[in-house]
Amino acid sequence: MSTEKLNNEDQDFNKVEEMLTPRFRREMKITFKTPKNNLKKILWTFSGVAAMLVIVLTITFKSNFTVSASDVINTALDNIYRAKNIQIEFEILGSKTNQDEIYKPNNNGERIRGTLYIINDNNKIFNRIDWHDNENNSIIYNGTDYIHLKNGVVVGKHPSLFSKELLLLFNLDNIDNNILNEADIETRDNLIKVNLKGNKNQIIYNGEFLITNKQLVKASAVLMGTDNQVDTLLKTLSIETNIDIPLNLFVDL
Amino acid sequence: MTNKINILQTLEAEKDKLFQYANYRLNNIKDVEDVLQNLYVKILTNKHIFTNISNLRAYFYRMVSNDCNDILRESIKMNTMSIDSLTNTDIESLQPENFDEEFIIINRLLNMLPIEQSETIRYRLHCDLAFQEIADIMEVPLSTAKARYRYGIEKIKTNLKKENLL
């Protein structure tokens, strides 16, 4: 190749570099804001369904509880927060999404069941959702990675620090008062029923607590339609704590 | 082991470069702010994990890159940015007069390349990183970082010539 041609090639190379080099850079003006009670936002970013589930479970933070109701509810949530293992069977009305959580709540979607596992292994928090669908989708947050499994085979993985955020929501100190409006509380026999209107009164969260053993036994989120039609967006089928959940559920096999 | 102050100092030192990187991936300033703010929040809420990461800078860039990918995947911007052909492009349109025009041209050109080449070019030209820094961040040998850059530029050059745009 002649020297002239080589020079031309070099000039063209430089021209491309110039085209790709920004001339209209924006000025960096961002100042980081220390988050305050914004766990909900983080949760929705990472895992909408799991976040909704926990919000449903923690609907009950309200200062105007009667003393006894407050005690039952606080104890029940604190027991979950401090549990070594949590397993929650749930059902949502949802549709598939290409986001990490695989399914998102959608009142025009289909009913799908899932199991949420949270374990606290020496302060390392692992989260997993098994979706009981045809593909056997499972998602895992092990503190360093997000892992997507189909039929037990890894089909997606990327770094994610999502870890203890779900569990933190069970700690009443971390719940943003603004997400909660007026709660209605009904005490009957051995049961405290709480319902709370959120999202411009369109969604009603329900929780049921057993008084005798101070346990949360049921929770749901119901969408109110304009014609008084209701859709249960999410409901728990069972809530268990401190049961045996093997740690290998959370590793990338 | 890195302590919290070191983590935040590293972020502060990289902030502007990460900002420029995200700007030329996303355009929308709100999205750019969200990506950086999310990184900050993740650091604050997961300090124990960050303290065990040996190459913090690499981790920051990967996190910002992943977040940008997520936003683009969701956004209709993906449709306009995924145009990898230079059809309907003339020499004049390759001379931008503002950020938006520049953003479109840069992304149209970089979308011709495999991700590892376009990322190398972004780090070099948008974040002003040295090749050794890029190699560290991408966890590849220095020679690979340089080769990716050169191959990327050469490929764009060839395509532009093919369309008589160079």
Q: What are A28-41's pLDDT values in tens digits?
A: 877 777 654 444 44
Sequential DSSP letters for chain A: --HHHHHHHHHHHHHHHHHHS-SSPPPP-------SS-HHHHHHHH-HHHHHHHHHHTTT--TTS-HHHHHHHHHHHHHHHH-SEEEEEEEEEEEE-SSTTSEEE-TTSEEEEEEEEEEEETTEEEEEEEE-STT-EEEEE-SSEEEEEETTEEEEEEE----SHHHHHTSGGGS-GGG--PEEEEEETTEEEEEEEETTTTEEEEEEEETTTTEEEEEEEEEEPTTS-EEEEEEEEEEEES----GGGGS--
Is A59 in contact with A183 (CB distance < 8 Å)?
yes
Task: Give the per-residue pLDDT at A179.
Answer: 45
A12 touches chain B (CB under 8 A): yes
Instruction: Give the lowest-confidence range in A196-200, A228-232, B4-8, B134-138.
Output: A196-200
In terms of CA atoms, which chain A residue is nearest residue B98? A24
Pick B67 or A76 by higher pLDDT.
B67
Pairwise CA distance, residues B166 & B154, whole Å:
12
CB-based contact A233:A126 (threshold 8 Å)? no
Helix (H, G, I), strand (E, B) or coil at B60: helix
- Compare A104 and B21 and report the one with higher pLDDT: B21
Q: Averaged over A205-211, what is the pLDDT?
A: 75
Supply the pLDDT for residue B41: 81
Q: Is the pLDDT of residue B83 over 50?
A: no
pLDDT of residue B120: 96
- Contact residues, chain A, for B137 at CB < 8 Å: none
| Residue B47 pLDDT > 50 | yes
Q: Between residues B15 and A234, which one has the greater pLDDT?
A: B15
CB A234 within 8 Å of CB A220: yes
- Burial tier of B53 (Cβ tally within 10 Å: 0-12, 13-18, 19+): middle
Say whether B37 and A98 touch across the interface (CB within 8 A).
Answer: no
pLDDT digits (tens, 9 = 90+) for A92-140: 888 887 777 778 777 778 888 988 888 888 778 888 888 899 989 988 8
C-alpha distance from A24 to closest chain B C-alpha (Å): 5
Tell me what the pLDDT averaged over chain B comes to.
Answer: 85
Give me the percent of chain B exceeding a pLDDT of 70. Answer: 88
In tens, the pLDDT along B108-125 reads: 999 999 999 999 999 999
The band of A198, judged by pLDDT with boundaries at 50, 70 and 90, is: low
Confidence of residue B76 (pLDDT cuts 50, 70, 90): low
Instruction: Retrieve residue A127's tokens.
Output: 């989260």
**What CATH topology corresponds to B83-166?**
Arc Repressor Mutant, subunit A (1.10.10)
**ipTM metric:** 0.88
Rg (C-alpha) for chain B, rounded Å, is 17
Retrieve residue A210's tokens: 């057993």
One-letter identity of residue B111: N
Of chain A, the percentage scoring pLDDT greater than 90 comes to 8
Contact B36 A25 (CB under 8 A): no
Q: Across all residues in chain A, what is the average pLDDT?
A: 72
Lowest mean pLDDT among A1-10, A90-99, A210-219, B69-78: B69-78
pLDDT of residue A60: 40
In this predicted structure, the answer to whether residue B58 has a pLDDT above a threshold of 90 is no
Question: Could you tell me which CATH number the domain at B1-76 has?
Answer: 1.10.1740
Between A85 and B46, the higher pLDDT residue: A85
pLDDT of residue A183: 60
Going along chain A from its start, the domains and CATH numbers come out as: 41-250 (2.50.20.10)
Beta strand A110-121 pairing with A103-105: unpaired
Q: What is the pLDDT confidence band of residue A76, given thresholds at 50, 70 and 90?
A: low
Answer whether A23 touches B (CB < 8 Å).
Answer: yes
Which has the minimum average pLDDT: A13-22, A44-53, B48-57?
A44-53
Q: Which residues touch A232 (CB under 8 Å, ≥6 apart)?
A: A91, A93, A220, A221, A222, A223
Give B23 to chain A, closest Cα distance, Å. Answer: 8
Token digits for A180?
Answer: 């909660």
Output the CA torsion B94→B98→B102→B103 (10° steps). Answer: -150
Query: Are the CB atoms for A39 and A165 separated by under 8 Å?
Result: yes
User: Domain extents for chain B?
Assistant: 1-76, 83-166
For the range B93-96, what are the long-range contacts, defined as Cβ-Cβ under 8 Å and sequence gap of 24 or more? B94/A19, B94/B165, B96/A23, B96/A24
- For residue A20, the chain B residue with the least C-alpha distance is B106
Q: What residue in A sits closest to B149 (Cα-Cα)? A: A17
Statement: residue B90 has pLDDT above 70: yes
Cβ distance A28 to B63 less than 8 Å, yes or no, reads no
So what's the pLDDT on residue A181?
Answer: 46
